[in-house]
Amino acid sequence: MSAATSSGQTAGSGQRTVPVAVTGLGLVTPAGIGVEASWEGVCAGKSAAATDPALEGIEVDFSCRIPNLDVAELLGRKAARRLDRFTQLGVIAAREAVADSGLDPETWDGARVGVVIGCGMGGAETWEAQHKRMLEHGPKRVSPMLIPMLVPNMVAGQLAMEFGARGPNLVTATACASGTTAIGVARDLLRSGACDVVLTGGAEAGLTPLSIAGFAQMHALSTRREDPERASRPFDVDRDGFVAAEAAGVLVIERVEDAAARRATVRAHLAGYGASADAHHITAPDPEGSGATLAMRTALDDAGLEPREVDHVNAHGTSTPLNDVAEAKGIRQVVGDHAAVTSTKGVTGHSLGAAGAIEAAFSVLTIQRGRIPPTANLDSQDPEIDLDIVAKEPRDGRVDVVMSNSFGFGGQNAVLVMTAA
Q: State phi, psi for 189 to the nearest 5 degrees.
A: -70, -30
Q: For residues 303 and 272, is the Cβ–Cβ distance under 8 A?
A: yes
Which among 45-53, 104-112, 140-148, 247-255 is the span making contact with other proteins, rule CB under 8 A? 140-148
Q: How far is the CB of 128 from other proteins (least distance, A)?
A: 18
134 scored as a contact of other proteins (CB under 8 A)? no
Give the single-character DSSP code of 390.
-
Nearer to other proteins, 126 or 342 (CB): 126
Verify whether residue 131 is a known catalytic residue: no
Q: From the list 13, 136, 140, 263, which residue makes contact with other proteins (rule: CB under 8 A)?
A: 140
Kindly state the number of chain residues that form the binding site for other proteins, as judged by CB under 8 A.
Answer: 12
145 scored as a contact of other proteins (CB under 8 A)? yes
194 scored as a contact of other proteins (CB under 8 A)? no
Q: From the list 16, 81, 262, 308, which residue makes contact with other proteins (rule: CB under 8 A)?
A: 81
Nearer to other proteins, 146 or 175 (CB): 146
Q: From the list 10, 143, 223, 333, which residue makes contact with other proteins (rule: CB under 8 A)?
A: 143
Catalytic residue chosen out of the listed positions 64, 176, 269, 312: 176
Q: For residues 90 and 132, is the Cβ–Cβ distance under 8 A?
A: no
Report strand pairing: 412-419 vs 401-408: antiparallel
Nearer to other proteins, 141 or 308 (CB): 141
Which residues is 24 bridged to in the sheet? 252
Q: From the list 3, 54, 72, 111, which residue makes contact with other proteins (rule: CB under 8 A)?
A: 72
Binding to other proteins, residues 223-252 (CB under 8 A): none
- Assign 150 to helix, strand or coil: helix
Q: For residues 58 and 216, is the Cβ–Cβ distance under 8 A?
A: yes
Q: From the list 37, 80, 129, 322, which residue makes contact with other proteins (rule: CB under 8 A)?
A: 80
Rounded to an integer, what distance in angstroms lies between the CA atom of residue 402 and that of residue 217? 34
Beta-carbon contacts of residue 227 (< 8 Å; ≥ 6 apart): none
Residue 182 to residues 18, 25, 191, Cα–Cα distance (Å): 18, 15, 14
Verify whether residue 316 is a known catalytic residue: yes
141 scored as a contact of other proteins (CB under 8 A)? yes
Q: For residues 149 and 123, is the Cβ–Cβ distance under 8 A?
A: yes
78 scored as a contact of other proteins (CB under 8 A)? yes
Rounded to an integer, what distance in angstroms lies between the CA atom of residue 362 and that of residue 37? 12
Q: How far is the CB of 145 from other proteins (least distance, A)?
A: 6
Q: From the list 144, 263, 279, 383, which residue makes contact with other proteins (rule: CB under 8 A)?
A: 144
Rounded to an integer, what distance in angstroms lies between the CA atom of residue 130 and that of residue 143? 7
- Assign 333 to helix, strand or coil: helix
157 scored as a contact of other proteins (CB under 8 A)? no
161 scored as a contact of other proteins (CB under 8 A)? no
Report strand pairing: 197-204 vs 113-118: parallel
The separation between the first and the last C-alpha atoms of the chain, rounded to the nearest angstrom, is: 10
Nearer to other proteins, 18 or 74 (CB): 74
Verify whether residue 281 is a known catalytic residue: no
Q: For residues 316 and 352, is the Cβ–Cβ distance under 8 A?
A: no
> So which residues are the catalytic ones?
176, 316, 350
**Residues near other proteins (CB under 8 A):** 72, 76-78, 80-81, 140-141, 143-145, 148
